[in-house]
Amino acid sequence: MSIWCFGSINIDHFHHLDHLPSPGETIASRSYRVELGGKGANQSVAAVRAGARVRHLGAIGPDGAAMRAALEGYGVDCTHVQEVTAPTGHAVIMLDPAGENAIVTHAGANHAMALAPVLDALGAAQIGDILLVQNESAFVPEVAEAAMGLGLEVVYSAAPFELSAVQAVLPFVNILVMNAVEAQQLQDALDLPFEDLPVEAVIVTRGAQGASWHARGTAQIAVAAPEVAVVDTTGAGDCFTGALAAALDQGLEAAEVMEFAAGAAALQVTRPGTASAMPTRAEIEALRQPL
């Protein structure tokens, strides 16, 4: 089977700082680098590195050829990546020595793509394939609805969190993935327990505290995060979601899926970078083996 990832492709600009800036403060960067990013691209790379066959649906601008080449270099099928006139999306990522970050993004091509080519591409999907979606691209509800109608399993990473965006996509979602802050915001707004949301399962990630799986009629599944030395937390949630989709594609049971995804994210934060830090399936399996 295949994973189809409809999502952002960004140029990530990393600045390593002595501390994150306060309002009005100007500080010098200790180092700087550029690499592939965007929640969609990160999740595609995480899934393909975790052993899945991945096809990316998204867009770049005239300045995005290197980002497309990077995706292809990881093994992601970019046949259906559009090139538009708007600049490629980008993110400025500021990192402190403890691995915490502050991020500014610009949507660019991610909001300038056309819908029709995406829907045409999905016509080649098979029942049981997985669609990964996030909130950094245009047309997310339309693409999720089309995928569900075609019999795909829709996994939705509700980030960056915006209540109206989440409400628009929820009717077309099988598995909803949020971090603890996003989950609390959604519960506060809807006043519903996770089990009563109109999805098959809700997964809540909690960083170093692990993650939990919530589904109506079943016991909560909680997994701990392996203890690791954190270098950079950027992209950890994307790593979790991409690895989660790969584990689902492999047919693992829910508890194994959660353990696999948590292990992947733990490995990812021990390395600098986003897409470049995604672990391989062999590395994840090795971490899961008992000592």
Number of H helices and E strands in the chain, helices first, is 9, 13
At 289 the pLDDT is: 59
- 31 in a structural domain: no
CB atoms within 10 A of CB 188: 9
- 123 in a structural domain: yes
H helical segments located in 75-179: 115-122, 140-149, 163-169
At 279 the pLDDT is: 96
**Is the CB of residue 21 less than 8 Å from the CB of residue 94?**
yes
pTM: 0.92
Range of the domain at 181: 3-9+38-83+110-288
DSSP assignment string, 6-24: E---EEEEEEE-SSPPPTT
**Strand, coil or helix: what is 5?**
strand
SS (HEC) of the chain: CCEEEECCCEEEEEEECCCCCCCCCCCCCCEEEEEEECHHHHHHHHHHHCCCCEEEEEEECCCCHHHHHHHHHHCCECCCEEECCCCCEEEEEEECCCCCEEEEEECHHHHCCCHHHHHHHHCCCCCCCEEEECCCCCCHHHHHHHHHHCCCEEEEECCCCCHHHHHHHHHHCCEEEEEHHHHHHHHHHHCCCHHHCCCCEEEEECHHHCEEEECCCCCCEEECCCCCCCCCCCCHHHHHHHHHHHHHHCCCCHHHHHHHHHHHHHHHCCCCCCHHHCCCHHHHHHHHCCC
At 190 the pLDDT is: 87
**Strand, coil or helix: what is 190?**
helix
**Is the CB of residue 8 less than 8 Å from the CB of residue 40?**
yes
Active site residues: 238
- 127 in a structural domain: yes
- 18 in a structural domain: no
- 25 in a structural domain: no
- 57 in a structural domain: yes
Number of domains composing the chain: 1
- 91 in a structural domain: no
**Between helices 254-268 and 281-288, what is the axis angle to 10°?**
110
Q: Mean pLDDT of successive 10-residue segments in the chain (291 residues)?
A: 95 93 93 93 98 98 96 97 97 86 91 97 96 97 97 95 93 96 90 86 92 88 88 89 96 94 94 90 82 37
**Strand, coil or helix: what is 243?**
helix
At 291 the pLDDT is: 37
- CATH number for the domain harbouring residue 218: 3.40.1190.20
* Beta-sheet pairing, 153-157 with 175-179: parallel
- 17 in a structural domain: no
CB atoms within 10 A of CB 245: 30
At 287 the pLDDT is: 83
